[in-house]
Amino acid sequence: MVTGYQWNPNWYTGLSVEAVYKGNTAYEFGPTVGYSFKPTGMGTFDITTQLIVSNEGEFGGSLRSSWTAPGDSWKVGLSYIYHNAMTLVGERDIPFLSSGFMSGGEPSITNHEINMTVSYLY
């Protein structure tokens, strides 16, 4: 389940809840906070952060920022994601596990991911 509330034109909060009851029972929460602002003539800037907390006390999360050009034709985004395979989100989305590319050959259940996107909106 994912829900959210837009407090005013600038602030947004959200909450995601995920649960698994088949096999090992697990559940986690993902509170989100976002801020959007529009400096005159400079488009729109958005900053969003999310923390993932599992019932076992494991953490994951992300920090995302984006800029949408005036006229909404271009969008540039940058995000950092901390993957932890001990969370449901991390188990599903982790790019490298165990002796993967980012772990230097050592067993690892966490990864750091940085993404940059450039989009033309038509």
| pLDDT classification of 100: cutoffs 50, 70, 90 | low
Query: How many CB atoms are closer than 10 A to CB 114?
Result: 8
Per-residue b or e along 19-41, where b marks 16 or more CB atoms closer than 10 Å to that residue's CB: eeeeeeebebebebebebeeeee
CA distance 43 to 35: 14
Provide the token pair at 95.
């790019």
User: Is the Cβ–Cβ distance between 94 and 83 less than 8 Å?
Assistant: yes
pLDDT tens track for 12-71? 999 999 999 988 889 999 999 999 998 888 999 999 999 999 999 999 999 999 999 988
Residue 72 predicted with pLDDT over 80 = yes
